Amino acid sequence: MTKRALITGITGQDGSYLAELLLSKGYEVHGLIRRASTFNTSRIDHLYVDSHDPAAMLFLHYGDLSDGARLVTLLAEINPDEVYNLAAQSHVRVSFDEPEHTADTTGTGTVRLLEAVRMAGIRPRFYQASSSELYGATPPPQNEETPFYPRSPYAAAKLYSYWITKNYREAYDMFAVNGILFNHESPRRGETFVTRKITRAVARIKAGRQKDLYLGNLDSVRDWGYAAEYVEGMWRMLQADEPDDFVLATGVGYTIREFLDASFEHVGLDWHDFVKFDERYLRPTEVDALIGDPSKAQAKLGWKATIDGNQLAKLMVDADVKALEVGPEWIDPVKLASWGTA
């Protein structure tokens, strides 16, 4: 029987890769999208088939995590087998500017969705996009047993979502799990996250279209993996026999400086000639070092990251260079390759 999934955040980086993965597995995929004054579906346009076509397997629905009543009617209508809650105000720096909105979407949005599942009287498996930001000030290596110490309004909101997901699992016997994912990037990464900001700038500087790159703290350490591989881990969590929480990470950390080295060297440039400091990109409280221990996911789900931060930098620079060459058309090496081989 065809399985049905609902993805919130389908227009984001992870949502687009997850939609591709589920469609490739024969799922009927439903996505929640926000009404915007301009189109916001560029990451999934290549997947869309007109819904009048009998071959259509991807369906988009207007909605917002701030609108609980809409979530109830939508869940009742779709009756999905699996729900992936990826929607969030996901930018840590922005969460200091918009703490209340971040709490409403990234925190309360999760309980609205969980409660909508209950009110609709359905029993889907539920995935919550938890984050390594939960560990915050607790030093690495971090695994499922490591204490949380959030360092931003974003992380505090995700902490609530983590616990409410666990609480619904225990209180209502729901198959509800947290994927505690460390940073994962791709050519589809939002342009204001540091990796994509760097790789886009490398391409533009190399092409003579940009002179400087303004950044904040270059000393923090992040465990960067490849988003296309991480959505496979999300799916595996929902196929397990028992609901449980898992860390997904590469296990290797790099500083921002090291990511700069790898990215600029890939096109024969030295970043010291271009990078400038701007204090606007500092956070009032920083997360110094995140390096995950993914051994539980490897043992129980058979999941392992194969691309590390160094390879990722090159892959993303190549995609951004190519995008400049061929124009504004969406470019993504994964689209052209089979799963796991890109």
Gap between the Cα atoms of 5 and 139, Å rounded: 36
Nearer to ligand NDP, 14 or 28 (CB): 14
Burial, 149: exposed, middle or buried (Cβ in 10 Å; 0-12, 13-18, 19+)?
middle
Cβ-in-10-Å burial (0-12, 13-18, 19+) of 10 comes to buried
Q: Does 65 participate in binding ligand NDP (rule CB under 6 A)?
A: yes
* Long-range pairs, 63-67, Cβ under 8 A, ≥24: 63/8, 63/32, 63/33, 63/34, 64/32, 64/34, 65/8, 65/32, 65/105, 65/109, 65/110, 65/112, 65/113, 66/104, 66/105, 66/108, 66/109, 66/112, 67/112
Q: How far is CA 282 from CA 18, 79, 171, 233, 264, in A?
A: 31, 43, 40, 31, 22
Shortest distance (Å) from residue 54 CB to ligand NDP? 27
Residue nearer to ligand GDR on the CB measure, 29 or 92? 92
Q: Of these partners, ligand GDR, ligand NDP, none, which one is at the site of residue 332 (CB under 5 to 8 Å by kind)? A: none
Residue 331 phi, psi (nearest 5): -120, 130
Give the x-and-dash track for 105-144 against ligand NDP (CB under 6 A): x-----------------------x-x-------------
Number of other residues whose CB lies within 10 A of the CB of residue 220: 18
Contact positions vs ligand GDR (CB under 6 A) = 90, 92-93, 131-133, 183, 192-194, 197, 215-217, 220, 222, 256, 281, 283, 286
Catalytic one among 135, 154, 162, 168? 154
Q: How far is CA 249 from the centre of its chain?
A: 13
DSSP assigned state of 189: S
- The one segment of 28-36, 205-213, 260-268, 275-283 that binds ligand NDP by CB under 6 A: 28-36
CB 205 within 8 A of CB 269: yes
Query: Residues 147-166 vs ligand NDP: string with x where CB under 6 A?
Result: --------------------
Name which of ligand GDR, ligand NDP, none residue 11 binds, using a CB cut-off of 5 to 8 Å depending on partner kind.
ligand NDP
- The catalytic residue among 133, 152, 186, 254 is 133
| Smallest distance, ligand NDP to C-beta of residue 7, A | 9
Q: How far is the CB of 207 from ligand NDP (least distance, A)?
A: 25
Structure tokens at 223: 């465990």
d(CA 116, CA 70): 9
184 binds ligand NDP (CB under 6 A): yes
Contact 163, 178 (CB under 8 A): no
The item of ligand GDR, ligand NDP, none sharing an interface with residue 15, based on CB under 5 to 8 Å by kind, is: ligand NDP
Q: Catalytic: 131?
A: yes
Which of ligand NDP, ligand GDR, none does residue 197 bind (CB under 5 to 8 Å by kind)?
Answer: ligand GDR
- Least distance in angstroms from the C-beta of 93 to ligand GDR: 6
* Site residues for ligand NDP per CB under 6 A: 8-9, 11-15, 32, 34, 36, 40, 64-66, 86-90, 105, 129, 131, 181, 183-184, 190
Q: Which residues are catalytic?
A: 131, 133, 154
